[in-house]
Structure 1
Amino acid sequence: MALQDKYREVIDFARANGVNDLSVQEQNNVLYLTGTAPADAVKQQIWAVYEKLDPEMRSADMVLNIGVAVGASTTYTVQAGDSLSKIAAKYSGISWKDIFEANRDQISNPDLIHPGQVLKIPQ
């Protein structure tokens, strides 16, 4: 089975979800998929599709080099027990105040966030 056939689902997902400059090349029994995702969420979904096909990533026959477009927003879905400080700690160089300011349209009190809210994480 050719690698492009094996990873067709990953390739098709990337194409369908707006990955720019998508390049698919096979070299020395390794498939290289490169491009720029329109948002971090799309990049993460591409990785999820890949992990479904090769759960432990043991095949070592695919390289995903997917960047995220400059200015693209990252989002985070609030989980039970989260606070803005806990969320900020997951991202380098971002404070809870940065997240609060980026989400003033949906947060009036930084101590009151709710599971299921989708917050913008500033770059």
Structure 2
Amino acid sequence: MALQDKYKELVDAAKASGITNLQVREQDNVLYIDGEAPSFTVKDQLWAIYDKIDPDYRAADVVMNITVAASAAPEEYEVVKGDNLTKIGKKYGIGWKEIYEANKDQIKNPDLIQVGWKLKIPKKA
């Protein structure tokens, strides 16, 4: 039960954020957290909480197996001439920051996107 106390914030966030089929169990000094997140944003938020509790992941006392609901899979959009993140966001009914956050691996400067890039478009929250 000590691990559930240590990671209470993480478990509480999982419960509050709509994780379905949530299972939390302690076994052999490891806390297992399983379930399905409604979006990639929720999954990323849980990992951010874990990172805050154990920044270097050195304790190795948590196994988080959080999948993302298939319906939350992002759509893909290919950038065309004249596009910017705001314009693309309006097309999908989301903000430019959501597109930027979903594509940080590719976009270094949100004001500079290139024709031909394939961007992940997250589902509306």
Q: Same fold (TM over 0.5)?
A: yes
Structure 2 Cα separation of the partners of residues 113 and 43 of structure 1: 23
Q: What is the TM-score of this pair, normalised by structure 2?
A: 0.65
20 and 55 in structure 1: CA distance in 2 versus 1, 3 angstrom threshold: same
1:23/1:34 contact within 8 Å kept: yes
Corresponding residue SS for 2:70: coil
Alignment partner, residue 30 of structure 1: 30
Structure 2 Cα separation of the partners of residues 74 and 14 of structure 1: 21
State the Cα deviation string for residues 54-93 of structure 1 (Å, max 9, x = none).
0000000000000000111449xxxxxxxxxxxxxxxxxx
Alignment partner, residue 85 of structure 2: 113
Question: Structure 2 unaligned runs (5+)?
Answer: 87-94, 100-119
Q: Please tell me the root mean square deviation across aligned C-alpha atoms, in Å.
A: 2.7
Alignment partner, residue 70 of structure 1: 70
Alignment length (residue pairs): 94
- Give the helix-richer structure, 1 or 2: 2
Matched, 1:20 2:20: yes
Alignment partner, residue 78 of structure 2: 96
Question: Structure 1 unaligned runs (5+)?
Answer: 76-93, 101-108
Alignment partner, residue 104 of structure 1: none
1:23 is displaced (CA, Å) by: 0.2
1:36/1:68 contact within 8 Å kept: yes
Letter in 1 for 2:17: N
